[in-house]
Amino acid sequence: MLKDEETRIVLFCINCNEETEHSVNYIGEYLKSIQCDKCNKKFEIDRRHLRTVFAEDFIERVLSKPHRMSRDFKEAMAYMVPFFPKRLFREPKKVIKEIIEVLRKKNGD
């Protein structure tokens, strides 16, 4: 979820014709508005444009999620493989049968 954030910076105000403090508001990493603290002149980003940007960002995140999860899983596995029993790689069929037997015994009780 994107959170709102306000920052105060000194900018040149075209209404005051001088450098003044401004309140700059963000939604996530996107600029929402800038307001002069002296004259209160406010510039806002068009909300329709913001929705378009957020929709594009959301779609990109949804489409890239499987890739990111796959990458994270590969990294985790690469770290964990040295700790696996060597039998797991030498005798996978036998290990799988043993696991199934244990699960059957647990479900049978």
**Res. 51 pLDDT band, cuts 50 70 90:** confident
60 Rama sector, left if φ>0, alpha if ψ -120 to 50, beta otherwise = alpha
- pTM > 0.85: yes or no: no
Cβ neighbours around 37 below 10 Å, total? 13
| Averaged confidence pLDDT in the chain | 84
Write down the pLDDT at residue 108.
65
Write down the pLDDT at residue 30.
80
Write down the pLDDT at residue 42.
94
**Res. 35 pLDDT band, cuts 50 70 90:** very high
For the chain, the residue count is 109
Alpha helices in 1-109 (DSSP H): 47-80, 87-90, 92-108
Cβ neighbours around 36 below 10 Å, total? 20
Q: Give yes or no for a contact between 45 and 32, defined as CB atoms under 8 angstroms apart.
A: yes
